[in-house]
């Protein structure tokens, strides 16, 4: 075991609010941003609820890029608020940008960063705060969520990947999640390594007390053998981390096109999901619906083919 993991345990208290949802994964490109956008848009559509989305992925801000068709040039951003000299005032003045990432509903987005933030060194300040004063950083993240929660019914967090190398030590990643969510959706790729990592003592004990709303095994090859393999390998993981829902999501062309067309088109697959030919859209609809109604009839309710 590396000395890093032997340090004293510091575990933030997670939110006792399943409407504060975080999307995490153990690797990049697993589909966190896609899930965040789809579930946020669906919840806004089904429930007509006010939904705020925070893009925490400062390294790979795809949500910001999709929402604004590029990085914004300037304006209010996550890194500016978190590093603000007068943090209380910055919280008071927050106003998010209402964007349509699906034709049926609008969500309000806090972009991760702007070009100005890179140019003026604000992104550097953000990472300095994170590494040098992790407790202050986490405290500010928590206050940001608390402030937004006074105005929005649902908060959706699009996180960077949770690993021991992503944005710093694993304990920081995990505490970041715990301080900003009460309901974690783990999005994983269908590989044995993802299952192993989630099952391992690196991650599993750190989820203690944090509600895991769903384990989503994403981009499964759309063939029965691959789906059955994903089910058999990941259902024990689902049991172990006590996820409420277990979703197997096949690779889906409309979802892929929503991603690759992200700079040109803002159309998401969450349009009329019940009629939509995409089966994945229906699975996501079921998941969003279960979140809205806070169904916890049994752990690991299965959604998928």
Ligand X SMILES: Nc1ncnc2c1ncn2[C@@H]1O[C@H](COP(=O)(O)OP(=O)(O)O)[C@@H](O)[C@H]1O
Which one of residues 5, 115, 131, 256 is an interface residue with ligand X (CB under 6 A)? 256
One character per residue 260-289, x = contact with ligand X (rule: CB under 6 A) = x-------------------x---------
Helix (H) or strand (E) holding 45, with range, is: helix 32-47
* Region near ligand X per CB under 6 A, out of 42-50, 97-105, 178-186, 252-260: 252-260
Structure tokens at 65: 């890029």
- One residue of 26, 34, 41, 175 binding ligand X per CB under 6 A: 34
265-275: buried (b, 16+ CB within 10 Å) or exposed (e) per residue? ebbbbbbebee
Does residue 113 touch ligand X according to CB under 6 A? no
Q: Is 218 in the site for ligand X (CB under 6 A)?
A: yes
31 alpha carbon, distance to own chain's centre: 9
- Identify the H or E element spanning 125: helix 122-132
Contacting residue, 240, 259, 276, 299, with ligand X by CB under 6 A: 259
**Whole-angstrom Cα distance, residue 281 to residue 15?**
28
Q: How far is the CB of 87 from Mg ion (least distance, A)?
A: 26
Q: Is the dihedral of CA 128, 132, 138, 144 positive or negative?
A: negative
33: nearest Cα among 133, 87, 104, 109: 109
Could you tell which of ligand X, Mg ion, none binds residue 171, using a CB distance below 5 to 8 A set by kind? none
CA 265/CA 253 separation, integer angstroms: 15
In the list 19, 32, 206, 211, the residue contacting ligand X (rule: CB under 6 A) is: 32
Closer to ligand X by CB, 280 or 286: give it: 280
Sign of CA dihedral 223, 226, 229, 231: negative
Query: Would you count residue 62 as binding Mg ion (CB under 5 A)?
Result: yes
Instruction: Tell me: does residue 64 bind ligand X (CB under 6 A).
Output: no
Pick 32 or 140: Cβ nearer ligand X: 32
Kindly indicate which of the ranges 49-57, 169-177, 226-234, 270-278 contains the residues binding Mg ion, using the contact rule CB under 5 A: 49-57
Angle subtended at Cα 271 by Cα 268 and Cα 275, rounded to the nearest 5 degrees: 135
Q: Does 33 bind Mg ion (CB under 5 A)?
A: yes
**What CA–CA distances, in Å, run from 150 to 61, 107, 144, 288?**
25, 16, 10, 22
Partner interacting with residue 50 (select from ligand X, Mg ion, none; CB below 5-8 Å by kind):
none
Residues that bind ligand X (CB under 6 A): 25, 28-34, 62, 218-219, 249, 251-252, 255-256, 258-260, 280
**Site of interaction with Mg ion (CB under 5 A):** 32-33, 57, 62
């Amino acid at each position: 075991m590396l000395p890093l993991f032997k340090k004293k345990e510091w575990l933030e208290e997670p939110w006792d609010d399943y409407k504060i949802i975080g999307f995490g994964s153990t690797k990049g490109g697993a589909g966190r941003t896609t899930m965040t956008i789809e579930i946020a848009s669906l919840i806004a559509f089904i429930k007509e609820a006010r939904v705020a989305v925070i893009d925490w992925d400062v390294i790979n801000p795809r949500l910001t890029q999709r929402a604004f068709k590029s990085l914004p040039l300037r304006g209010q951003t996550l890194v500016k608020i978190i590093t603000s000299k007068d943090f209380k005032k910055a919280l008071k003045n927050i106003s998010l940008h209402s964007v349509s990432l699906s034709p049926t509903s609008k969500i309000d987005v806090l972009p991760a960063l702007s070009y100005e933030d890179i140019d003026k060194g604000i992104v550097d300040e953000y990472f300095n705060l994170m590494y040098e004063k992790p407790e202050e950083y986490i405290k500010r993240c928590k206050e940001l969520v608390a402030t937004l929660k006074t105005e929005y019914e649902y908060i959706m967090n699009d996180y960077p990947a949770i690993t021991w190398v992503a944005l710093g030590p694993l304990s920081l990643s995990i505490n970041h999640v715990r301080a900003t969510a009460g309901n974690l959706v783990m999005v994983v790729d269908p590989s044995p390594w993802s299952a192993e990592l989630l099952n391992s003592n690196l991650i599993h004990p750190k989820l203690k007390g944090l509600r895991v709303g769903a384990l989503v095994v994403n981009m499964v090859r759309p063939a029965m053998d691959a789906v059955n393999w994903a089910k058999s390998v990941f259902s024990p993981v689902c049991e172990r981390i006590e996820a409420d829902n277990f979703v197997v999501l096949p690779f889906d062309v409309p979802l892929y096109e929503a991603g690759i067309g992200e700079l040109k088109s803002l159309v998401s697959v969450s349009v009329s999901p019940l009629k939509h030919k995409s089966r994945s859209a229906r699975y996501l609809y079921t998941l969003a619906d279960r979140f809205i109604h806070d169904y916890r009839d049994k752990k690991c309710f299965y959604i998928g083919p």
